[in-house]
Chains A and B, each alone.
Chain A
Amino acid sequence: TQLLEQSPQFLSIQEGENLTVYCNSSSVFSSLQWYRQEPGEGPVLLVTVVTGGEVKKLKRLTFQFGDARKDSSLHITAAQPGDTGLYLCAGVLMTTDSWGKLQFGAGTQVVVTP
């Protein structure tokens, strides 16, 4: 069982549409990070959210951290083919014995067609 559950697993949309990816857990995180991975490369950090309820915007991408620090969402407005990739959420647990451990969700494969 994954510590972080991402949904949906796969998303295929047309250019110009909006999309939202969800990342949920029953655990509390000190921070939650979003990465994008393209074929043959390692994940690349998009954003880190730290404060419960925090919202961060990165051009057409909006990231939100839940008030209870257990969940997060990524919203893309007017998606473009360049947004295609595997989106991964990752959380840093707050428990004493695993301080600093970064654990990943299974990822959401996003395909944006022209």
Chain B
Amino acid sequence: DARVTQTPRHKVTEMGQEVTMRCQPILGHNTVFWYRQTMMQGLELLAYFRNRAPLDDSGMPKDRFSAEMPDATLATLKIQPSEPRDSAVYFCASGLVQNYGYTFGSGTRLTVV
């Protein structure tokens, strides 16, 4: 089965450090989402791309977060500098047609100490 691959699965870092999370969407999928999940807020949409172009990143704290798709096989989410409140599980999802649903990766569990 085709799947969305996220790396790393776990990341522990110190406050102030840069964190980069990577996502390999399913080949052929043209839409990529980044979500953050916490117990308090649930799944929050951070950003999404269609055909590698950013459509909406209004859910991201702009001063420290950035999302890019350097090519069709890679999406990145970067936090610089990281803060303890960024501790969460970050998910990437990809899809082709919005009404057909999306496939999620297994997530990156980020802990900022």
Which of A's residues lie within 8 Å of B, judged by CB?
2, 30-31, 33, 35, 40-45, 47-48, 50, 88, 92, 98, 100-107
Encode contact with A along B66-109: 1 for CB under 8 Å, 0 otherwise.
00000000000000000000000001010000111111111100
Which of B's residues lie within 8 Å of A, judged by CB?
4, 31, 33, 35, 42-43, 45, 48, 50, 55-56, 91, 93, 98-107
A42 B98 Cβ-Cβ under 8 A: no
Task: Name 17 A/B residue pairs within 8 A (Cβ), A-sorted.
Answer: A30-B98, A41-B107, A42-B93, A42-B104, A43-B43, A43-B91, A50-B99, A88-B43, A100-B31, A101-B48, A102-B33, A102-B45, A102-B48, A104-B35, A104-B42, A105-B42, A106-B42
B101 A45 Cβ-Cβ under 8 A: yes
Complex formed: what's the CA distance from A30 to B93 in Å? Answer: 19
Complex formed: what's the CA distance from A107 to B105 in Å? Answer: 18
B56 A44 Cβ-Cβ under 8 A: no
Question: Which residues of A sit under 8 angstroms from B45, Cβ to Cβ?
Answer: 101-104
